[in-house]
A and B are shown apart, each in its own frame.
Chain A
């Protein structure tokens, strides 16, 4: 479903991604781990169209999407959830969802129902300003917002970063339930999440994918994986 070949990307003169190649099949949940600065965020941002690649190709469902802007890709079924956990803080939770619903042409009630179905507690917050939500609630709102319009591929950058253990469990549960609805490419530092959810695992270092693990047994070996993070 997603094929990345020889992808190179740079910020100005500084090359961040070197010849990245991998693919993802429909229905799979893949994780990317690696040290800070390895280029994981840049990879997601390049796939989603926020950064133009210097060279290489990105193909999604047999279409070349390299260089497509994020708004176009969203309509094709790709959603990106950024690391910074920014919600539209001046708008209420419901209005946050409304923006997504409007873009996807989905009726608001339907969109809200979808979001509250993955996390019922959000219903009580529908009319609160998103800015007053806690970090965990924001992350859940972000994921929920991204699900409006039934996307096929989610790109999520460090969903559990900075969140409390209980909240992380909530998110883990949500992501597990989503596994059969969408494919996902997730950047994570939290290895237990990886262990629970990953079908495939990519290890990145200094802008390259250094290792690919498709064997669940190997992924279960968290001690061994720790050296990469």
Chain B
């Protein structure tokens, strides 16, 4: 059972990394970005290449991969997302899905379709009493906690953070004071993409690497954001871990039902608390 809980925390952490960006993009720009997990996938594939360059030094390779995602997410934001500002859902869907199509195909072209196995960077285990825990999963969880506090600090201490909070509530008001919100929204988008890439990079060694990995995670990320509240970062934190737990516990008793259970929770939340788009 303890292992199930740790598994739940790990999944929750990964879901948290991925969902932060989705939640912020929706809260600020009101755009539902179906291409969001593309950076997740890209981060992973960059990792595959950089691991080869840096001869297996995971940390360096990971950092480089995550940074490499920045120019790509900038291009996506500048040329596509910004134009979807205020657009209806159908166009947003098509445009962002088109980006996914292009991105996934590029990945298939460059790296091929067959899965890449990656080994865990930290193979060590921690023994407490009769239990042995893989340290790597604990590290992932620890990073998630750090991220949570980091974001809390960002939004309560920095001017940029305060501007985002203000804009989440009253974007017009912020603009009328002379702030160029689009610039900040773009930064937020890039931050979110970075975090998704980080989630991918951290998760890759313990999952399978294939070109469509982003799509399966995307739906889960949506569920997390809907349950937690769009644009509500604290909510995203709790719902990511909550749903991570749901998945872990369901997987224990009913191995294929984990995802479906998440969707059931999402459907229930949507029924009682429909969202406004």
Contacts and interface: CB of A to CB of B under 8 A. Distances in A.
Contacts of B169: 86, 88-90
Given A91-B165, A95-B162, A98-B162, A86 B170 contact: yes
B29 to A, nearest CB: 16
Interface in A139-155: 145-146, 148-149
A123 to B, nearest CB: 20
Contact of B166 (A79, A80, A91): A91
Interface stretch (A66-74, A166-174, A205-213): A66-74
Contacts of B162: 88, 91, 95, 98-99
A70 B159 contact: no
A82 interface: yes
Contact of B177 (A69, A89, A90, A103): A103
Contacts of A146: 176-177
Nearest to B159: A102
Interface stretch (B97-105, B117-125, B178-186, B211-219): B178-186
B233 to A, nearest CB: 12
B172 interface: yes
A65 interface: no
A100 interface: yes
A52 to B, nearest CB: 13
A100 B176 CA distance: 9
Contacts of A69: 175
B173 interface: yes
Interface in A84-112: 86-91, 95-96, 98-100, 102-104
A70 B172 contact: yes
- The residue among A70, A75, A81, A98 with the most chain B CB atoms within 10 A of its own CB is A70
B163 interface: yes
A74 B177 contact: yes
Contacts of B165: 88, 90-91
A98 B179 CA distance: 12
B166 to A, nearest CB: 4
* Interface bin, chain A: 20 to 34
B163 A99 contact: yes
B174 interface: yes
B172 A104 contact: no
Interface residues of B, number: 17
Given A91-B165, A95-B162, A102-B163, A82 B179 contact: no
Contacts of B170: 86-88
A100 B178 contact: yes
A48 interface: yes
A79 B173 contact: no
A50 interface: yes
A103 B173 CA distance: 12
A50 B190 CA distance: 26
Nearest to B166: A88
B172 A103 contact: no
B178 A149 contact: yes
A89 B170 CA distance: 9
Contacts of A148: 177
A75 B165 CA distance: 22
A99 B175 contact: no
A96 B166 CA distance: 8
A135 B159 CA distance: 26
A79 B181 CA distance: 16
A191 to B, nearest CB: 27
A103 B174 CA distance: 9
A90 B169 CA distance: 8
Contact of A79 (B176, B179, B180): B176
Given A86-B169, A91-B165, A99 B176 contact: no
A32 B148 CA distance: 49
21 contacts: A48-B176, A50-B172, A70-B176, A71-B179, A80-B176, A86-B173, A88-B162, A88-B165, A88-B166, A88-B170, A88-B173, A91-B166, A95-B162, A98-B162, A99-B163, A99-B166, A99-B174, A103-B177, A145-B177, A146-B176, A146-B177
Given A71-B180, A102-B163, 17 more contacts: A50-B175, A70-B176, A71-B176, A74-B175, A74-B178, A79-B176, A79-B177, A81-B176, A82-B173, A88-B169, A89-B169, A90-B165, A98-B159, A99-B177, A99-B179, A100-B178, A103-B177
Q: Which 3 A-B pairs have the closest CB atoms?
A: A74-B178, A103-B178, A88-B166
